[in-house]
Structure 1
Amino acid sequence: MDSIISDSYAVHFNEGAFKALNAHLSEKKYSTVFILVDENTHELCLPSFMAEINGEHNFEIIEIESGETNKNIDTCIGVWEALSELGADRKSVMINLGGGVLTDMGGFIASTFKRGIDFINVPTTLLSMVDASVGGKTGIDLGNLKNQIGVINQPVMVLIIPDFLDTLEERQVQSGFAEMLKHGLIQDPLYWDTLKTVNGLKEMKDHILTSIEIKNNVVLQDPTEQHIRKILNYGHTLGHAIESYLLNHGTKEMLLHGEAIAIGMILEAFLSHKLLGLELSSMHDIKTTFLERYTKIEFANEDIDNLLKLMKYDKKNSHGKVNFVLLKKIGEPVADIEIPVELFKQAFAYYKE
């Protein structure tokens, strides 16, 4: 695969990724190379990653606990303290080896430590490869509210090693695939139709490059999300509310990001039909495609009421209004759509049918 040039950095693939990394480390001669891992990537990815690094470098490994529940300021404080204790300075670099939670948080930690040190992202999940790899969004959750604290800051480079995906459980793979399907829905009807026929991780790997290119093309036009970049949030307004609600419910099972976003895309397809005239056949196509891959979740009326309250904290809102990205048709999104309250419960009723 060829490298993809993003804003101020490149996304490198496979052997080219290690070639670019080794050249960069040799040139920069960092005082310390910190590698941020969780317990999973420490065991399953770090050994093979280290085996590909050439030259003599001063390495330090910092491990955090995996999972969205640890994407918070307390974890950041622990890493900042570890960096200080291990002598990190502004000539250090941090390599974030993990999924989207780790790369989001690692990027935020590096961007704020001593007012910013270099960081390199090595996404190890399908979700982080096709979503978190491009755009420079870093951040953490505030309580049960997703991604409320953070900055947009670009990494030095991003390295995509598809073999790391072989370490994932099937559920994690499907979570990432939801974002790939979203790329088709917002930009490319033919890509959407192609992905609907994809079966298994081997076939998914063949389309990683296309998904990254789609997101990168959008981000390059709008790095700080003032206009067109908003379309990447299709399915995320309701999806993030669902993810946040279940994350802290206590008795209900948590959903992975892509699982929650899949529900959000079904709900927002219904809203698209009602408000923008998305064809009935397209609405049903979206619902059928996602329900074939993702388990349907039961929402009581009380759950729905609580979800709607959570939406007011969505970071895409402005002037007290909840703003949605909807589809006029597949491949033609429209941003900043305000939804009449009565349509939300109708959308959930459609999901339940």
Structure 2
Amino acid sequence: MRKTRKTTSAAQAPLLGPRALNRATLGRQLLLRRSRLSAEAAIEHLVGLQAQNVKPPYFALAARLDGFAPERLSALMADRAVVRIVTMRSTLHTHTADDCLTLRPLVQPARDRELTVFRAKLPGVDLDRLAALARDLVEAEPRTMKQLREALSAKWPDADPQALAIAARCKLPLVQVTPRGLWGRSGQVALTTAEHWLGRPAEPAPAPEAAVLRYLAAFGPASVKDMQTWAGLTRLREAFERLRPRLVTFRDGDGVELFDLPDAPRPDPDTPAPPRFLPEFDNLLLSHADRGRVVPPEYRGRTWQGNQAYATLLVDGFLAGVWKLDADALVVEPFGRLDAERRREVTAEGERLLRVMYGRSSPYGVRFGTVLR
């Protein structure tokens, strides 16, 4: 059971049950009704997309946008309007160029904490000097992590090579240059600084209050701990308290205080939620301390096996199964029984996804089968 401070005001605040939280979050995440936003505007609204692998951001937008085509996101990457960079939770995200230059400074304290884990493996290493040398290397030409390890090891032979490269990534805002991330092309990971790639300097980190407002617009209603989970940051309560006069509050079934924007959509809990196919690591499942608004208790942990994350299926707004692209089919494995109407809806949504991503000549069909092993 979560331990979260309960205040008198929280105890008196209106209750939001799991379905109310689910519909509100799906609405903010563009998953109740597909949006006509451009890919770039959607990425900005969602404050980035989780992007450990190349394809998930494409599938994330396909689930959320009406009229999306993967070539549109690919073009944004080629034009440097969006980039791939480590930000939230020390994981790779796709961000707009503007957000890249501000959100990375916002989460720098988390990168500094990450660096302390490796400090013992860096005897005699001046981290500021390492950052300056690494910057010179990657701005002279994009470097792979292997090339960065080798170059830095030549300067500090007694240090752990992997720790040297990670230190450079923690100290510098390193972006993955194209063709990495392009649809149908991609390539190996090569890095340079965000400032060099985008041709302009980093900007000051936004005030924590501004970040809170953007988080609530995309993920609310939410608790302080929810946002800290999303950002990988700590000590955000003061920012929420400063904003309290501008926000509305609710409580969940455990009495945890939830904050929200006064005019943000909070749809009726009975609002229909069509099936949606989400990629592995989708923001929807990773951006709250309590995932009960999307993940039923009986399905907790079902989307992971070891280090393997599975793409997920939503039915009626909640996690209901996993899926994968096999040799000739989009294979769907529901966690429970789907009646005939639900199966038709899931099949239709899968067929739509395949048309969006691969065109009408897609080699894939949709079938129900086994994904988890």
The TM-score bracket by the shorter chain reads under 0.3
For the pair shown, the structure with the greater C-alpha radius of gyration is 2
Q: TM-score, normalised by structure 1?
A: 0.26
Q: Which has the higher helix share?
A: 1
Q: TM-score, normalised by structure 2?
A: 0.25
Higher relative contact order (CA 8 A, sep 6+): 2
